[in-house]
A and B are shown apart, each in its own frame.
Chain A
Amino acid sequence: MIALIVVLVIILILIGWSVGIYNKLVSYRNRFKNAFSQIDVQLKRRYDLIPNLVEVAKNYMKHERDTLEAVIQARNQAQQAEKNVAGQPENAEAMSNLAGAESQLSGALGRLFALSENYPDLKANQNMMQLSEELTSTENKVAFARQAFNDAVMNYNIYREKFPNMIFANAFGFSEARQFTVDSPDQREAPKVSF
């Protein structure tokens, strides 16, 4: 009888332990999901800004239709990718699709801004100035929120990969989450100097 109870207590402790790991995983996952909702809001805002920007640019850059269309197309693709991710930022595939689409979009926008250097009238346009200012600000916010998201994903992945946790994580269906990285040379963060 005593042996049975001891076994039961051990089983209970094991159950409690695994439930503990499960809960911790859920809480780490919730954290990066919350962090993604922050990115999401800003991405949506950015997708709304871009058509306006292109509309203004069209009036000046009559010979750059290809570039403008590329921007719109990249924006539509990114928007679609964002929709696919929205509910489930833990989905690694959807996340890397979004990262890819976002990189495309940044590249297209970069080319557009590079070309706009040749059109002084466009650069002086009040609307254009305001829009590009707003776009930059939104992009800064996205970058900041993305850093928070990536930190949260990293914490989740580290916890997930620790020894006993990994067994439970796989059993409970907690797959590895993907960071949201956008590779674009001109989007690198300003160098930080600390004393």
Chain B
Amino acid sequence: MDFFEAQDRAKKNTKKLVFYYALAVTGIIISIYIVTLIFFNSQFNVEGGEVSFWYPGWLLTVSIIVGLIIASGTLYRVSQLRKGGSAVAEMLGGRKINPSTTDTGEQRLMNVVEEMSIASGISVPDVYVLDKEENINAFAAGFSPNDAAIGVTRGTLEQLNRDELQGVIAHEFSHIFNGDMRFNIRLIGVLNGILIIHILGMLITRSVAFSGPGRVSSNRNGKGGNGAIAIILFGISLIVIGYIGMLFGRMIQSAISRQREYLADAAAVQFTRNPDGLAGALNKIGRKSEGGEINDGHAMEMSHLFFASSFQSALNKLFATHPPLEDRIKAIKPSLAGSKPKRKIAGYQKVMKSRTGSEENIGGIFAGHDAITPEVILGAIGTIGGKQVQAASHIMKEIPVPLKDAAHEPLSAQALMFAVMFEAIGKRSSEIPMWFNELAGTSTVTEVSRLMAHTKHGNRSWFIPLVEISMPSLKNMSEVQYRQFREVLNKLAMQTKSDNLFLFALDKMVSHHLDSFFSEKRKPKIRHHHLKTLGHELSVLLSALAYASGNETEKAFSNGIKPIDKFIPEGVKLLPEGKCGILALDKALNELSASANPVKKYIISSVIHCITADKIVTMDEAELTRAITEVLGAPIPIGVIRSGR
């Protein structure tokens, strides 16, 4: 299963969810209809007249009202969480970790997350701590890798060692890649809609019971008393109906969630190549009497988000959102669970089979450039190989501390962006243009020239990782500061006029990642369901890549065409270099980004075939691919490529 299939499967699951949701809503409507009729009959039809259960008008009224209430509950919660992972994290009481934190536990967590991000080719997500939670647990939330947030409890920071923490974070990253998060947020909305019936019942019961206790008791014989009691009974039946609905919701939640946990565990082992870490973490959770319990009020509703079960119920088997810890440990590390592995989990085996095949080869990217085959890279999208994590951690160690520190602090982070830009276009600190000094402000300029002393001796393979780890700090700017930063960035890109690919990648990463954060810009609608409409765009994209690959332009281009040969329209050809410059490429990429997942898969496949035609992935190619990655939303683990030659 590859990245795009996983994303599409998540969509199919969403359809399943919609079906169950409709079922639950229908059930609730019918139950409420029956209950109201029973009350109506008992109130006004006591003399034993004809009892009918068919009033179409009333059924319609009930359907509309109940439907509206449930829908508003669902839509409300989904809109509340529309901001993505950070909204979920804050709802759970999370505190965003400051990238420049001095707390050692938090620093370690940031390092682990940064390594994973660089290895997988996504920008570093926001990281949150749940300060009040002492047990070990973690979650990932968001709509896409772009707005993802990862959260861990205080207990996780304090009680796990680095390997165990890495296992947990790898598990969460696999949720991000599997497209589980979008589905999870919808599930929260669905549960909330059903829950609202329950809450409504409580409100009715309470308001009547408390507003007129005297009336209810003293007026026992009168009609009013009966009415009040009837209303209370009605409220109670709403509570019961809502509760039963919730039980069904929980069952959907747990059935879908349990499967995914095995998949994520398997992926985590593959990412880290170290089953001990994850198994150790699971073991530590198992040894605590409270397990991974979360005390926050939202824990139950969001339990399918967490690393380990966040609540315990009497009906554990039926409603557990996570498989039993022992089974999970057994699946990844049979020896640690103590007993002999009686049954292997089917899903786990399947994943391991489909993944381990390519895993060994992924390492080849770093062993030497000659081992790259397109199939290997394609298989690696949305996964991380253990060696890539190592390579990422190696790069992180290589980058001088002042540069890393700068990436963790907003003022310095934006200065760092300018510094690497100047470095990429080969300007010395003495050559910084006058207008830049005036536009950027003195404190930024001071920082830029300070940082350029370090980037001067830098390796170009540091630049993309540095941009990736700067993202969380850049988000700490205010809107006003961001607008100013963008203005300078744009002007810099315009003024240099050079077709510098790093500049282009940087611009794409910043604009895609941060523009959506600072404004409410929505994603483009899908306009292309096949490649036929994208002829010109493909010509531009592949030509640009072919020129970036160096010597064998023709060969690279024709290699890129190969996997999509049957699907493209006439006239896709190698353009002259002037026709596929940065501006043309930018336009083409924007158009390509509005295509459906299967189409994107072909585009990516073609891109990868193109850059690997000559068995060498140059820095130019890697940077351009990173820009494409950002726009198409497919994490290609190519950022850790070394510019060895």
**Contacts from A to B (Cβ < 8 Å):** 1-2, 4-5, 8-9, 11-13, 16, 19-20, 23, 26-27, 30, 33-35, 37-38, 40-42, 44, 136-137, 140-141, 143-145, 147-148, 150-152, 189-190, 192-195
Q: Give chain B interface residues in 165-204, CB to chain A under 8 Å.
A: 196, 200, 203-204
Q: A8-B200, A30-B90 are in contact. Are A148 and B446 (CB under 8 A)?
A: no
- Nearest A residue (CB) for B475: A34
- Nearest B residue (CB) for A2: B61
B438 x A193 contact (CB < 8 A):
yes
Most buried by A among B435, B450, B477: B477
A23 x B98 contact (CB < 8 A):
no
Q: Which residues of B contact A11 (CB under 8 A)?
A: 203
A144 x B481 contact (CB < 8 A):
yes
A35 x B478 contact (CB < 8 A):
yes
B410 x A5 contact (CB < 8 A):
no
Quote the shortest CB–CB distance from B73 to chain A (angstroms). 8
B68 x A9 contact (CB < 8 A):
yes
B476 on the A face (CB < 8 A)? yes
14 A–B contacts, CB within 8 A, in A order: A8-B204, A11-B203, A19-B76, A23-B80, A27-B90, A33-B95, A34-B95, A38-B100, A41-B98, A137-B447, A140-B411, A145-B410, A150-B478, A195-B439
Q: Give chain B interface residues in 51-108, CB to chain A under 8 Å.
A: 61, 65, 68-69, 72, 76, 80, 83, 87, 90, 95-96, 98, 100-102
Q: Give chain B interface residues in 425-472, CB to chain A under 8 Å.
A: 435, 438-439, 441-443, 446-447, 450
A35 x B476 contact (CB < 8 A):
yes
B205 on the A face (CB < 8 A)? no
Q: Which residues of B contact A141 (CB under 8 A)?
A: 409-412
**Contacts from B to A (Cβ < 8 Å):** 36, 40, 61, 65, 68-69, 72, 76, 80, 83, 87, 90, 95-96, 98, 100-102, 196, 200, 203-204, 231, 409-412, 435, 438-439, 441-443, 446-447, 450, 476-481, 487
A148 x B476 contact (CB < 8 A):
yes
Quote the shortest CB–CB distance from A183 to chain B (angstroms). 18
Choose from A12, A26, A148 the contact partner of B478 (Cβ within 8 Å): A148
Q: A41-B101, A190-B443, A193-B438 are in contact. Are A12 and B72 (CB under 8 A)?
A: yes
Q: A13-B72, A44-B102 are in contact. Are A151 and B481 (CB under 8 A)?
A: yes
CA A19 to CA B95, docked complex, whole Å: 21
Q: Which residues of B contact A23 (CB under 8 A)?
A: 80
CA A24 to CA B33, docked complex, whole Å: 36
Q: A38-B476, A137-B450, A152-B478 are in contact. Are A12 and B69 (CB under 8 A)?
A: yes
CA A41 to CA B98, docked complex, whole Å: 9
- The secondary structure that dominates the B interface is helix
Q: Which residues of B contact A35 (CB under 8 A)?
A: 476, 478
CA A2 to CA B196, docked complex, whole Å: 19
A5 x B65 contact (CB < 8 A):
yes
Question: 9 closest Cβ contacts across the A-B interface?
Answer: A151-B478, A140-B443, A144-B411, A190-B442, A148-B478, A193-B438, A37-B98, A141-B411, A34-B96
CA A42 to CA B98, docked complex, whole Å: 11
Quote the shortest CB–CB distance from A2 to chain B (angstroms). 7
Q: Which residues of A contact B231 (CB under 8 A)?
A: 4
Most buried by A among B95, B100, B231, B435: B100
CA A148 to CA B480, docked complex, whole Å: 8
Q: Which residues of A contact B439 (CB under 8 A)?
A: 192-195
How many residue pairs at the A-B interface have CB separations less than 8 Å?
102
Q: Which residues of B contact A41 (CB under 8 A)?
A: 98, 100-102, 409
Quote the shortest CB–CB distance from A33 to chain B (angstroms). 8
Q: A1-B36, A151-B481 are in contact. Are A144 and B443 (CB under 8 A)?
A: yes
CA A40 to CA B80, docked complex, whole Å: 29
B411 x A12 contact (CB < 8 A):
no
Q: Which residues of B contact A19 (CB under 8 A)?
A: 76
Known interface pairs A5-B61, A137-B446, A144-B411; 20 further A-B residue pairs with C-beta atoms within 8 A, sorted by A's residue number: A1-B40, A4-B231, A8-B200, A9-B68, A12-B200, A30-B96, A37-B96, A41-B100, A44-B102, A137-B447, A140-B447, A141-B410, A143-B443, A144-B410, A147-B480, A147-B481, A150-B478, A151-B480, A151-B481, A193-B438
- Nearest A residue (CB) for B73: A16
Q: Which residues of A contact B98 (CB under 8 A)?
A: 34, 37-38, 40-41
Q: Which residues of A contact B68 (CB under 8 A)?
A: 9
Quote the shortest CB–CB distance from A137 to chain B (angstroms). 7
A147 x B478 contact (CB < 8 A):
yes
A9 x B481 contact (CB < 8 A):
no
Q: Which residues of A contact B477 (CB under 8 A)?
A: 148
- Nearest B residue (CB) for A34: B96
Q: Which residues of B contact A16 (CB under 8 A)?
A: 72, 76
Quote the shortest CB–CB distance from A145 to chain B (angstroms). 6
B441 x A190 contact (CB < 8 A):
yes
Q: Which residues of A contact B487 (CB under 8 A)?
A: 194
Q: A41-B101, A44-B102, A140-B446 are in contact. Are A148 and B481 (CB under 8 A)?
A: yes
Quote the shortest CB–CB distance from A172 to chain B (angstroms). 16
Q: Which residues of A contact B441 (CB under 8 A)?
A: 189-190, 192
Q: Which residues of A contact B435 (CB under 8 A)?
A: 195
A34 x B100 contact (CB < 8 A):
no
CA A13 to CA B75, docked complex, whole Å: 12
CA A44 to CA B100, docked complex, whole Å: 12
Q: Which residues of A contact B80 (CB under 8 A)?
A: 20, 23
CA A151 to CA B80, docked complex, whole Å: 23
CA A192 to CA B438, docked complex, whole Å: 6
CA A192 to CA B487, docked complex, whole Å: 13
CA A192 to CA B481, docked complex, whole Å: 13
CA A22 to CA B65, docked complex, whole Å: 25
Quote the shortest CB–CB distance from B98 to chain A (angstroms). 5
Most buried by A among B61, B101, B200, B476: B476
- Nearest A residue (CB) for B36: A1
CA A16 to CA B196, docked complex, whole Å: 11
CA A42 to CA B102, docked complex, whole Å: 10
Q: Which residues of A contact B443 (CB under 8 A)?
A: 140, 143-144, 189-190
Q: Which residues of A contact B447 (CB under 8 A)?
A: 137, 140
CA A27 to CA B79, docked complex, whole Å: 14
Q: Which residues of A contact B446 (CB under 8 A)?
A: 136-137, 140
CA A16 to CA B203, docked complex, whole Å: 13
Q: Which residues of A contact B69 (CB under 8 A)?
A: 9, 12
Q: Which residues of B contact A192 (CB under 8 A)?
A: 438-439, 441
